[in-house]
Structure 1
Amino acid sequence: MHNTDICIVGAGPAGATAALHLANKGIPSLLIDKASFPRDKVCGDALSGKVVNELRRISPDLPAQLGELQEAMPSWGIHFISPGGHKLSVPFKYNYQPDQDTPAGYISKRIHFDNFLVQQVRQRPEVKFLEQVDVVKYKPAAEGGYVLSDKQGQPLVQTKLLLMANGAQSGFTRHVAGLDQEPEHYCAGLRTYYKGVSDMDADGFIELHFFKDFLPGYFWVFPLPGGYANVGVGMLSSAVSRKKVNLKKEMLCMIETHPELQRRFAKAELVDEIRGFGLPLGSKKRTISGDNYMLLGDAGALIDPFTGEGISNAMISGRWAAEQAAKCLEQQDFSAAFMHGYDKAVYNRLWKELKLSRQMQKLLNYPWLFDKVASKASKNQALAETISCMFNDLDLRERLKQPSFYAKLLFD
């Protein structure tokens, strides 16, 4: 059995980031994962500018290293296609110059990006990394902390502090931390890969399509290196249940019958199975720590409610978990009260953004209004630039919550 002060369960972006920040502080940790890397993860594969910033916080040269991978391609923004077919283009960086600027974001399959982070972990002597270790039982230790065991009840790890970064289906999150999956704050998604989809954006913009008959869900197409595309759909679980939606059937139907998609997918080849996954949305504040533990990334339900982005928020939580872990060791205080500093730090950084995204998610209940905004912006460069800036400036984005913003749009 391994004895350690800090055990991180899950070596995805949240867990790997936490381990690397701890290593930068000279603090040893044990990182375990049930898989063997490289391994796939069902996801949209988009890496926003926030991901690039978090990589830079780990090490200034990491974004450049990512950019050198042939499995990663630059991405400069998002195309939102409204129910009426109007395209609202939102660059990650206003007035960008692809030939001169450092890419604001990237797109890379998770099998490659997660392995990229794990390769950084493998180089750090402060991190003991164990693969194919499947922990299913968590028992409080008599002297504080937890004893982690396998299916047979064989003890594997004893730790003072547990960083749970084992994803959306975390048993610890449900059974120990007591956070339930709430349909109003949970999204069901499907993802697959195609090759040969036509008219992909030359600057690697990802596409989010909001079709009138599929609201409040959305259909996405994300370009990938080598002529591949990540294609999928997402919808609130509450809406899936209420409308009795068969997501796979709807996704294939949109590709086969929507005129624009039908044209673009005419010569495309399905090269992977269609796989489902769940997204615990950060549209509600939760308690993400307790005695001797913290919940990171998807295990703490931190996914953006509007765009579905989770990687950057997972990495942000990993960074703050490392900060809190260092304080816990220094003070030898692992109590829930002291651990709450982690919750405060994470939500101080993310809550304003998550709350605004929740408001934008609600805009999908008014497709005519969404369509009006997109239509005006597609014809008005100044408005398009304003909305673009809103995605990067939270104070500006606050205007999206104000009725006066839409009144001005409607009656100008």
Structure 2
Amino acid sequence: MRIADPLVLGAGPAGCAAAIRLGQTGAMPLLIDRDADVGDPLCGGFLSWRTAEQLQTLGLSPAALGAHRVARLRLFDGPHQAALDLPHPAWGLSRHALDTAMRARALAVGARLDFDTVRAIEGLTVEGRVASYRPQSLFLATGKHDVRGQSRPRSANDTALGIRLRLPHTPERQRLLGGAIELHLFPGGYVGIVLQEGGSANLCLAMRKSALADAGGSPQALFAQLARDHPALAARLGDDWRQVRCDTIGAVPYGFIAKDTAPGLFRLGDQAAVIPSLAGEGISIALASGVTAAQHWLAGGAAAAPVYQRAFARQARLPVALASAAWHAAETRIGARAALALARLAPALVAGFADRARIAAPSLA
């Protein structure tokens, strides 16, 4: 099947952002996703102030989608804690709600959406279970999941992994977490918690694979151990966390940036740059890459892909570097204590760091 307009592989935030921007200018991109039912992916439940700005330009509002407004950051290191105001208000919103809204918006501006399981990519040819697609331009937006033929390098010996619990609303969690995002730091990783629409709590744990192995290899055993050692985290987990499904994702290549590409192949989202989740900027990078890639395609067609990729790599370098430095520091006991001390003594410095770790929003001119 030949595709004249761009083929966008992946109907998550990055792919939908590209499709929305292309549709806003009269193109008719084809979105391909493997799932007709919108899921609730593990990563991306926190929307920074930069993300909210970008969503507004695409015709979407976190507040209108029921997102939970977040104005404070709390840091925990065992019994120690510190709190500070965020530079600007942020939001907690599930990926199910965000992805559903973005798919609908893409279709409303002229994109098409089909469903297929892609088995491999060779050049610009996409081999699916249902059909084979031969576009002139391919927007690769498959998130943290690679497709055979376009895998990202993974050289780390002790790779990162993510574990998520979606905890139901309770009055106690509302009292503890309302209006704030929390980071609970421990050697080898951290837990981030934020309320989302409806008052449910999104709890994401990012850690080294070795830290899970040290806990016996079981996420449930790890959470039980963390609850014993960290009373504040135990209070957020409550008594019902064992009844909640545990979602996991492994071998996350944090720090990866695609520095170049072939003509016609535009890498978006986590296929373009993987920022450590501690920064809360993954969705912003997804949106920025999608819109920037669309802008380059509109200006120069398939030939503009290498120019876009190099430009976006330069744009992502500082936020990814800052977030990586914060992540490596936070997973050590000394780094965690230093972060809490800075939050208490120089909150403006921490807030400024958080602001600098944001990726610049693309111009729509």
TM-score, with length taken from structure 2? 0.86
1:23 CA drift (Å)? 1.4
Aligned to 1:299: 271
What fraction of aligned residue pairs are identical, expressed as a percent?
20
Alpha-carbon separation, structure 2, partners of 1:107 and 1:155: 37
- Secondary structure, counterpart of 1:249 in structure 2: helix
Alpha-carbon separation, structure 1, partners of 2:254 and 2:312: 11
Aligned to 2:50: 50
1:235-274 mapped onto 2 (5 Å cutoff): 235-237=207-209, 246-256=218-228, 258-268=230-240, 272-274=244-246
1:196-211 mapped onto 2 (5 Å cutoff): 196=170, 197-198=172-173, 199-203=175-179, 205-211=180-186
Alpha-carbon separation, structure 2, partners of 1:375 and 1:301: 30
Aligned to 2:74: 79
CA offsets 1:106-138 (integer angstroms, 9 cap, x no match): 11111111101111012122x1222x2222132
Query: Quick check: 1:388 aligned with 2:351?
Result: yes
Aligned to 2:103: 118
Aligned to 1:143: none
Check the 8 A contact 1:185/1:281 in 2, yes or no: no
Aligned to 2:164: 191
CA offsets 1:196-237 (integer angstroms, 9 cap, x no match): 35342332x1111002xxx22112222123332112311134
In structure 2, the CA distance between the partners of 1:344 and 1:225, relative to structure 1 (3 Å rule), is same
Check the 8 A contact 1:2/1:158 in 2, yes or no: yes
Alpha-carbon separation, structure 2, partners of 1:377 and 1:137: 47
Task: Give structure 2 stretches of 5+ with no counterpart.
Answer: 359-365
RMSD: 2.8
The letter of the residue matching 1:45 is G
Aligned to 2:121: 138
In structure 2, the CA distance between the partners of 1:138 and 1:189, relative to structure 1 (3 Å rule), is same
Query: Quick check: 1:218 aligned with 2:190?
Result: yes
CA offsets 1:153-210 (integer angstroms, 9 cap, x no match): x643220011110121221xxx43352223369520111122235342332x111100
TM-score, with length taken from structure 1? 0.77
In structure 2, the CA distance between the partners of 1:224 and 1:394, relative to structure 1 (3 Å rule), is closer
Check the 8 A contact 2:3/2:135 in 1, yes or no: yes
Task: Give structure 1 stretches of 5+ with no counterpart.
Answer: 94-103, 141-145, 396-412
Check the 8 A contact 2:185/2:331 in 1, yes or no: no
In structure 2, the CA distance between the partners of 1:376 and 1:318, relative to structure 1 (3 Å rule), is closer
CA offsets 1:3-61 (integer angstroms, 9 cap, x no match): 323100000000000011111222221111111143222225111112112112324xx
Structure with higher Rg: it is 1
Query: Quick check: 1:229 aligned with 2:206?
Result: no
Alpha-carbon separation, structure 2, partners of 1:184 and 1:316: 30
The letter of the residue matching 2:30 is L
Alpha-carbon separation, structure 1, partners of 2:15 and 2:49: 20
Residue-pair matches, total: 355
